Amino acid sequence: MKNTVKKLLGFLGKSRTALMMSVLLAAASICLSLYVPILFGSAIDNILDSGVSFGPILEFLTRAGIVVVICAILQWAMGIINNRITFETVRRVRERAFEKLEHLPLKYIDSNAYGDLLSRVISDVDTFADGLLMGFSQVFTGIATIIVTFGFMLSISLKVALVAALLTPLSVFVARFVAKNTHSLFQKQSVIRGEQTALIDEMTGGARVVAAYGYRGRSEERFDKINRELEKTSRRAIFYSSLVNPTTRFVNAVVYAAVCLVGAMTVISGGMTVGGLSAILAYANQFTKPFNEISGVITELQNALVCAQRIFELIDQEPEVSDENLPELKDIKGNVAVENVAFSYDPKRPLIKNFNLKVEPGKRVAIVGPTGCGKTTLINLLMRFYDVDSGKISVEGEDIRNITRHSLRQGYGMVLQDTWLRSGTIRDNIIMGKPDATEEEIVAASKATHAHSFIKRLPQGYDTPVGEDGGNLSAGQRQLLCITRVMLSAPPMLILDEATSNIDTKTELRVQRAFEKLMTGKTSFIVAHRLSTIMSADMILVMRDGNVVEQGTHSELMEKGGFYAELYNSQFS
């Protein structure tokens, strides 16, 4: 907790002067705004039924007018400064968080749910900024208001001030009491809501199944049962929680009456003027507000601190080992060597052990094995998304840990099964690997991969925007775009992950030919599903449960009669 606050102050660092300004402005504007009722009171004191003295009234009212205008200007300036502090802090924190995301080991990204990381960068930052900064300013102005109001009241009448000061905190206790008792109701409500949402999710998402199997009546029965339960709980939760306002207002009314009573008595006994009473009544009206606000802010502050902790947890993550001073890998021909590599995602469950492989330029390596056998692990290691535990992987004889990541990755062209496209146009996506490509180069690459024919039929051709997650394109088209992307940048080495399904035979043939063209003369690693790909490889790596169990050409492996032969026979004959 302490640490979080400290880090937070660090982020405020640049806004520290602004923060000081804000505090000063708040203090000044509070004093001024609370001074106004006193001026009004003094003016009213000069309105006596026995005679009105216009001179002093005019003077007090003019003074009030000036104070009001200055106070408003100060308030506005404070509002703007507070906004600045909040939004700039949000901006800085987000920027830092995003920068961290770009440099985190993939292990961290893989092992955390996207939704969770996203909410840290987006909603947590908002909650924390709103809660903490606004909370801070509310607490500060609240306390200042209480002190200044109390001071003014004291200056008018000691007795009345004490009455107000003693009775007002009552409303805080009332509010606390109500809030505590409604909490459990809200929790129950959210449990029921969760259940209802799950049912809605299933029944709406599975509408076809529901229709096909005549389940509609039963699903409505289930829904109505939950719905009625939700009604009962919600009604109670909403009613009880809405008690806070009226009950505190009632406490307010009692305070007001008490102040009025004691005040009137004091006026009679000559301890105060009628104008003083009117000023003190105006104070009594405002006095309870900061108390309630502060008690409300405390939960918000706790909430904000939790969010801050979650953000700092992300920002403080250890980034990838720096490669700043390492040399670049140059003149890549495509020699890749894997020596005695061991690797595991979880130290308790060893995965790859003692893995050796030597690939010469232009050779094809097919990686095969049943689903979930860890074929993608190899991609992770080759691209250095993950570092090996022991042994080494080298390209052109250089250990890939001794060169910059960028120079290594630029040597590879990668097409994954998960065809990720970024938001933007078709063109934006194709030129990812070669931002300065000319129109001719783009079209040539697209023609080579047979993507040109479908692109030119899109409404805006190469400038057609790609929907979120490539929504407006078919799986096969997305795959072709990803291949074109690599085709254009023409790297010396390739990593390809063949798609298994969702592509029809014709498109698959196109993808196939595109792959073929791409691979010509390049060192390629292919996670293969298609028989033709496997059989045309120079070497086949057979993986099982994360381990490379066999290595060799198709005929060698068939002869051996091991796992590969078994796999081959079960799938293709």
Partner 1 sequence: MKTLLKYFKGYTLEAFTAPFFKILEACFELLVPFVVAAIIDNGIPSGDRAYIYKMCGVLILLGATGLCSTLAAQYFAAKGAVGFCTNLRSALFSHIGSLGFSELDNLGTSALITRLTSDVNTVQSGLNMMLRLMMRSPIIVFGAMIMAFTIDVKAALIFVLTIPILSVVVVGITLFCIPLYTGVQRRLERVLLITKENLTGARVIRAFCKEPEEQLRFETENNALCAEQKHVGRISAAMNPLTFVIVNLAIIFLIWQGALRVEAGALTQGLVIALYNYMSQILVELIKLANLIISVPKTAACAKRIADVLNVTPEMANGSITNCNNNSEYSVEYINASLKYSGAAADSVENVTFSLKPGETVGVIGPTGCGKTSLVSLLPRFYDATSGEVKIFGENVKNYDIDYLRSVFGFVLQKNRLFRGTVRENMLFGCENASDEDIISALKAAQAWEFVEKFDGGLDHVIEQGQSNLSGGQAQRLCIARALVRKPKILILDDSSSALDYKTDALLRSAISGLDYQPTVIVVSQRVSTVMHCDRVIVLEDGKPEGIGTHDELLATCAEYREIYESQIKASEGGAGA
The residue (of 304 and 499) whose beta carbon lies closer to partner 1 is: 499
Cα–Cα distances (Å) from 367 to 364, 513, 523, 554, in that order, read 10, 19, 14, 12
* Residue 173 binds partner 1 (CB under 8 A): no
Using CB under 8 A, which of the segments 222-230, 341-349, 395-403, 537-545 binds partner 1?
222-230
* Contact (CB, 8 A) for 470 and 478: yes
**Shortest spacing between CB 412 and partner 1, in angstroms:** 7
Footprint of partner 1 on residues 274-333 (CB under 8 A)?
274, 277-278, 281-282, 285
Burial class, 246, CB count within 10 angstroms (exposed 0-12 / middle 13-18 / buried 19+): exposed
Alpha-carbon gap, residue 422 to 432, rounded angstroms: 9
Q: What DSSP string runs through 465-510?
A: EEPGGGTTS-HHHHHHHHHHHHHHH--SEEEEE---SS--HHHHHH
Using CB under 8 A, which of the segments 326-334, 339-347, 501-509, 519-527 binds partner 1?
501-509
The only residue of 65, 327, 461, 467 in contact with partner 1, by rule CB under 8 A:
65
Of 549, 496, 503, 358, which is closest to residue 567 (Cα–Cα)? 549
Footprint of partner 1 on residues 389-448 (CB under 8 A)?
405-406, 409-410, 412, 414, 416, 420, 422-423, 432-433
Q: What backbone phi and psi angles, to 5 degrees, belong to 339?
A: -125, 120
520-553 burial string, b = 16+ CB within 10 Å, else e?
eebbbbbbbbbeebbeebebbbbbbebbbebbbe
Alpha-carbon gap, residue 198 to 187, rounded angstroms: 17
**Shortest spacing between CB 158 and partner 1, in angstroms:** 19
* Residue 122 binds partner 1 (CB under 8 A): yes
Alpha-carbon gap, residue 361 to 411, rounded angstroms: 12
The residue (of 182 and 446) whose beta carbon lies closer to partner 1 is: 182
Using CB under 8 A, which of the segments 75-83, 151-159, 337-345, 521-529 binds partner 1?
75-83
DSSP 8-state code for residue 120:
I
Footprint of partner 1 on residues 513-572 (CB under 8 A)?
531-532, 535-536, 554, 570-572
The residue (of 90 and 448) whose beta carbon lies closer to partner 1 is: 90
Of 108, 122, 103, 115, which is closest to residue 307 (Cα–Cα)? 122
The only residue of 207, 298, 321, 490 in contact with partner 1, by rule CB under 8 A:
207
Q: What DSSP string runs through 261-284?
A: HHHHHHHHTTSS-HHHHHHHHHHH
The only residue of 1, 5, 47, 154 in contact with partner 1, by rule CB under 8 A:
47
What would the 3-class secondary structure string for 244-258 be? HHHHHHHHHHHHHHH
* Residue 186 binds partner 1 (CB under 8 A): no
* Residue 481 binds partner 1 (CB under 8 A): no
* Residue 238 binds partner 1 (CB under 8 A): yes
Provide the token pair at 556.
């060698």
* Residue 212 binds partner 1 (CB under 8 A): yes
Total residues interacting with partner 1, rule: CB under 8 A? 144
The residue (of 78 and 301) whose beta carbon lies closer to partner 1 is: 78
**Amino acid letter, 522:** K
Site string for partner 1, 82-121 (x = CB under 8 A): xxx-xxx-xx--xx--xx-xxx--x--x----x--xx--x
* Residue 72 binds partner 1 (CB under 8 A): yes
The only residue of 111, 227, 302, 322 in contact with partner 1, by rule CB under 8 A:
227
H or E stretch at 185: helix 169-205
The residue (of 3 and 197) whose beta carbon lies closer to partner 1 is: 197
The residue (of 268 and 348) whose beta carbon lies closer to partner 1 is: 268
- What does R_g of the chain's alpha carbons equal in angstroms? 36
The residue (of 2 and 471) whose beta carbon lies closer to partner 1 is: 471
**Shortest spacing between CB 55 and partner 1, in angstroms:** 11
Alpha-carbon gap, residue 53 to 288, rounded angstroms: 34
Burial class, 506, CB count within 10 angstroms (exposed 0-12 / middle 13-18 / buried 19+): exposed
H or E stretch at 533: helix 531-535
Footprint of partner 1 on residues 26-45 (CB under 8 A)?
33, 36, 40, 43-44
Give CA angle at 438 (434, 441), nearest 5°. Answer: 80
The only residue of 27, 264, 342, 448 in contact with partner 1, by rule CB under 8 A:
264
**Shortest spacing between CB 68 and partner 1, in angstroms:** 4
The residue (of 185 and 388) whose beta carbon lies closer to partner 1 is: 185
* Residue 153 binds partner 1 (CB under 8 A): no
Using CB under 8 A, which of the segments 69-77, 322-330, 390-398, 436-444 binds partner 1?
69-77
